[in-house]
Every structure is written in C-alpha cells, then in structure tokens.
Structure 1
C-alpha cells in the first residue's frame, strides 16, 4: 500500500486484510480502508480519542437513500462530534467530496467535519451560521470541553 502523510503505526496485515483497531476484526484491505485505519490511529494514538467514542461505517438515510459515513466520533452525550470522510489516496479531495460530507452532516449534525485521502486532510468547525476551515484537529482534551 501507498505511504501516507499520516503517522505510521504497527499495522497488522494478513493476506488481503487489515486488522481494524475499532471493530477488532479483519477487514478487506482497500486503499480507502488503508487511509481509514491510519486516520483512526491518528485520532487514538496522537490526539487521545477513546476507542469507545468511535462509530465506523454508520448507516443513515438521506433522501430515501442509504448512505454510510466512514468515521464518526461521539461526545459523551452520544451526539456526533466529528464526522470524517475517507477516500483512497488517488482520489482528489475536491468540491464533490466536500459536498458528500456536508450532505451526511445534514443528517448527523456534527460540530466538526473532516475529509482525508491520507495525503491531504481538511477540517471545518461549525460556527454560528456556517462551517469554517481550521488548521488542526482538536485533541481529546479540547473535545472534553
């Protein structure tokens, strides 16, 4: 798999699978899953998010269509705090990807939105009336407030 611009970690791989840090089972290794597992590692090992606050591939209905979000982080009240859309490293993070995460958020109502392809990461924080791009992901200490 392609090297990413995310922190490296000891990846458990077997045949064409990768061990998921959250689901605690072997998952088919696709380029998007490669990015997802590295991003999960960033959130847990480097930003201090607890594993129990994660939901992966959360199913939701949007205009009668079934969709799945890649990574959701919940706050202690069970509300969506951070919504992350992961893409393969060869997918450009363009307006179409931004629109996708924004559409998901119409259902989920997250405080933060993020997109990543493992090479580039973008994050937005909900303001009074719109989302504003920020430069750093909030760590768990910030998340607790």
Structure 2
C-alpha cells in the first residue's frame, strides 16, 4: 500500500483466503484491505497515538439515516458524554478531495451535529468546524483535550 502523509504504525496484516486483511482495533476484527481502509486505520492510529484520543470513544463506520437512506460515517469520535465530537470522512489516497467530498460530510453533519469534521485521503487532511454561515478551517488537527 501507498505511503501516507501520516505517521507509520505497526500494521497488523493477515492473508485470508488469498486476500490481505488489516486488523481494526476499534471493531476488533480483520477487514479486507482497501486503499480507503488503509487511510482509515492510519488516521485512527494517528488520533490515538499522536493526538491522545481515547480508543474507547472512537467508532468506525457508524450508521445513520439520511433522507430515508442508510449511510455510514467512516469514523466518529465522541466526547465523554457520548455526544458526537468529530466526524471523519476517509478517501483513498488517489481520490482527490473535492466539493462533493465536503458536501458528503456536511450531510452527515446535519444528522450528527459534531463539533468538528475532518476530510482526509491520507495525503491531505482538512479539519474544520461550522460557524454560523461558514466553515472555519483549523491549522492542525486538535488534541482531544482541547476539544
């Protein structure tokens, strides 16, 4: 898999039925390794080990309903009251982050009302929060204790 603009970590890979799987410590199971999953797992590890987010407050692929359709956020981080704090949309490294990516996470925000949102493709990371009529972009991804 491609080297990302995230710190490396000790990846736990396994060959299952001739296909590579990656261990997800949040869901506690091996998942088929796709480029998007590669980004998701690296970003989760970055949050836990470099930004001090408690693993117990991170949920991967949370379900939600949007216009009667079931959708899934890639990663949701909750505060200690189990209220959505951070929504993260992960894309494969070769997927360009575009207006449609921002629209996608904005739709999720309308359901979850998290304080912050992040879009990443493993190479670029955008952290922002809604503020009245505009998005306010953060210079860096905040530590858990700051949120």
TM-score range, shorter chain: over 0.9
- Structure with the higher strand share, 1 or 2: 2
Q: Following the alignment from structure 2 to structure 1, what is the Cα–Cα distance between the partners of residues 53 and 71?
A: 25
Equivalent residues, number: 143
CA deviations 1:46-103 (Å, max 9, x no partner) are 0000011011101111001110000000011111100000000110000010100001
Structure 1: state its 5+ residue gaps.
Answer: none
User: How does 1:1-145 map onto structure 2 within 5 Å?
Assistant: 1-15=1-15, 16-143=20-147
Higher mean C-alpha deviation, range 61-70 or range 20-29 = 20-29
Alpha-carbon distance in structure 1 between the residues aligned to 2:67 and 2:145: 36
> Which 10-residue stretch deviates more, 124-133 or 83-92?
124-133
Structure 1 SS opposite 2:27: coil
Tell me how large the CA RMSD over aligned residues is.
Answer: 1.0
TM-superposed CA distance for 1:129, in Å, is: 4.3
* Rounded Cα–Cα distance in structure 2 between residues aligned with 1:87 and 1:140: 22
Return 5+ residue gaps in structure 2 as ranges.
Answer: none
SS of the equivalent of 1:93 reads coil
